[in-house]
Amino acid sequence: MSADTHVVILAAGQGTRMKSRLPKVLHSVAGRPMIEHVLLTAESISPATMTLIVGHGGDVLRERLAGRPNVRFAVQEPQLGTAHALQQAEAHLAGQKGTLVLLSGDVPLLTASTLGRLIGTHQAAGAAATVVTAIVERPYGYGRIVRTKGRIARIVEERDASAHARQIREINSGIYAFDLAPLFDALRGIASQNAQGEFYLTDLIAIYRRRKLPVETLIVDDAEEIRGVNSRAELAEVSRIVRQRKNEELMAAGVTLVDPATTYVDMDVEIGVDTVIHPGVVIEGQTKIGSGCEIQGSVRIRDSEIADRVTIHNFCLIIGARVADGASIGPFAHLRPETVVGEKAKVGNFVELKKTSMGPGSKANHLTYLGDATIGARVNVGAGTITCNYDGVAKHATIIEDGAFIGSDSQLIAPVRIGKGAYVGAGSSITEDVPDGALGIARGRQSNVDGWVERKKGSAQTKTAPAKT
Ligand code: UD1
Ligand code: CA
């Protein structure tokens, strides 16, 4: 922990341009709310304290971050601008010395290494303030860095900039390091005479220069890192960048992405070497995939664990499931939460599994629903089998023991148990347990009526007008 480094994150703004009911910083970027990206980066420098400035949607934010006791909250109400926002942290930081790193909740791509460099540059120079900047092709929307004799003189906001200043391509990232000593006193000197009538933190730079306090800049090489998210279009852009980074990481680590442009992998996903991911695959949340797997096109996997050498054929949806080594899933399979598919088991097309475990080597190859079922090893579940697990009030369990054989088009009306090695005759509606090694058969007995067709034709000819059906 750096005892003399503190982090403040601004996240009180309304995010008007998002046109959303959700606070802007809770919008998801590659499977993680924007604010989580910022917090993770902040944690990389082990600050003594982290303070989040909240206003709009503050309660929702507190709730979502309840699992992070290291985050303190300060409320900004009303929201009078970025300088006013930072002032709300004063009470939390009273009496502290050292460096305050200011981050923006809506700048989620900043890397830990840049943050480390910011603190390094700032402290080495003994600066009162260090501003992270970038030189970009399209500076539109950002504050511009005005330099005199090469040194930063002030920052002008887009709305307040002259036509001349608008040509400046060096932009303010909204990320700074400050020496705590002069900071809060100087903030009180900021006025709100600008296009938005807000207290701009950016005005601090000119104030510091007037007071002869040293101000530094850190120009980042990769301007994408400091992209801010103000609109849904920017959210999509930033998400694309995060995905691209993730895909590059995966490929560098030995994963084949047949078409990275159409492969959507969330930040926290892990994938083993020699796994091949085909186009149109979406892998979300806390998913782990082993090595040597093949995930064919148009598959979505969320919060699941896929072991090694698993094949997932096209068009599967897998959520909250575990799939063991060498299993084969799909095409068109749906694995729902709490499903466990054993080693070398096969789940074929149009098969849905919910809260069901299937033992090693078992198969359900076609058109089947298995819910609340515990299925042993080497079980064969025939086409069209359905566990009737719901009676309209409660869910009931089905147990199928090792080596059992369920004939096609059977309904297993739960609660029910099919014993070890037992058979269920095709087309059965099983309502009672089938003992080990027994055959359970429960269907209408077939009877054939000889000559019935001929007789029917004969009777039709005697009618004058056929009845309409
Ligand atoms: C700000 C900077 C701009 C910089 C850009 C980088 C100012 C005046 N402008 O502009 O120079 O190029 O960021 O992305 O600082 N916030 C509050 N309370 C407020 C207002 C804002 O907490 O009263 C928070 C917002 O929630 C957001 C951050 O501060 O997380 C930045 O505010 P925003 O309105 O997005 O500023 P920009 O116009 O992007
Ligand atoms: Ca912004």
Encoded amino acid at 240, one letter: R
Give CA–CA dist 332/324, Å, rounded: 19
C-alpha of residue 188 to centroid of ligand 2, in Å: 22
Q: What share of the chain is helix, strand, coil (3-state, %, to 5)?
A: 25, 30, 45
Tell me the per-residue pLDDT of 36-57, one tens digit each, with 9 for 90 and over.
999 999 999 999 999 999 998 8
Q: Are 430 and 412 in contact (CB under 8 A)?
A: yes
Closest CA to 348 of 366, 321, 360: 366
Kindly report the protein residue whose alpha carbon is nearest to atom 36 of ligand 1.
82
Residue with tokens 């694995």: 335
C-alpha of residue 106 to centroid of ligand 2, in Å: 6
Q: Could you give the 3-state DSSP secondary structure of residue 108?
A: coil
Encoded amino acid at 200, one letter: Y
What phi and psi values does residue 231 have, to the nearest 5 degrees? -135, 170
Query: What is the DSSP pairing of strand 416-418 with strand 373-375?
Result: unpaired
Kindly report the protein residue whose alpha carbon is nearest to atom 22 of ligand 1.
12
Taking the CB of residue 453, how many other CB atoms lie within 10 A of it? 9
Of all ligands present, the nearest one to the C-alpha of 15 is: 1
Kindly report the protein residue whose alpha carbon is nearest to atom 19 of ligand 1.
81
* Dihedral sign, Cα of residue 429, residue 430, residue 432, residue 436: positive
Could you please report the per-residue DSSP string of 117-156?
HHHHHHHHHT-SEEEEEEE-S--TTSPEEEEETTEEEEEE
CA atoms within 13 A on the CB side of 185: 8
* Dihedral sign, Cα of residue 205, residue 210, residue 211, residue 217: positive
DSSP 8-state class, residue 390: B
- Average pLDDT estimate for 374-390: 98
C-alpha of residue 229 to centroid of ligand 2, in Å: 6
174 ligand 1 Cβ < 6 A: yes
Give CA–CA dist 332/317, Å, rounded: 8
Is pLDDT above 80 for 450?
yes
Give CA–CA dist 399/412, Å, rounded: 10
Strand partners, 271: 289
Q: Give the whole-number percent of the chain exceeding pLDDT 90.
A: 95
Residue 14, CA distances (Å) to 33, 55, 285 in order: 16, 8, 27
Is pLDDT above 80 for 461?
no
Tell me the per-residue pLDDT of 10-45, one tens digit each, with 9 for 90 and over.
999 888 999 999 999 999 999 999 999 999 999 999
Can you tell me which atom of ligand 1 is nearest the CA of 157?
A: 11
Kindly report the protein residue whose alpha carbon is nearest to atom 1 of ligand 1.
174
- Average pLDDT estimate for 382-392: 97
Catalytic residue among 6, 278, 334, 366: 366
Can you tell me which atom of ligand 1 is nearest the CA of 199?
A: 8
Conformational region of residue 245, where left means phi above 0, alpha means psi within -120 to 50, and beta covers everything else: alpha
Kindly report the protein residue whose alpha carbon is nearest to atom 29 of ligand 1.
10
C-alpha of residue 228 to centroid of ligand 2, in Å: 5
C-alpha of residue 11 to centroid of ligand 2, in Å: 10
Active site residue 366: yes
208 ligand 1 Cβ < 6 A: no
* Dihedral sign, Cα of residue 33, residue 93, residue 79, residue 228: negative
Is pLDDT above 70 for 61?
yes
108 ligand 1 Cβ < 6 A: no
User: Hey, what are 292's tokens?
Assistant: 């040597």
Is pLDDT above 80 for 463?
no
**Residue length, the chain?**
469
Tell me the per-residue pLDDT of 72-131, one tens digit each, with 9 for 90 and over.
999 999 999 999 999 999 999 988 999 999 999 999 999 999 999 999 999 999 999 999
Give CA–CA dist 325/327, Å, rounded: 6
143 ligand 1 Cβ < 6 A: yes
Pocket probe for ligand 1: among 82, 144, 198, 234, the residue whose CB has the most ligand atoms within 8 Å is 82
Residue with tokens 């005892």: 3
Tell me the per-residue pLDDT of 126-159, one tens digit each, with 9 for 90 and over.
999 999 999 999 999 999 999 999 999 999 999 9
DSSP 8-state class, residue 171: E
Tell me the per-residue pLDDT of 330-358, one tens digit each, with 9 for 90 and over.
999 999 999 999 999 999 999 999 999 99
Q: Are 325 and 290 in contact (CB under 8 A)?
A: yes
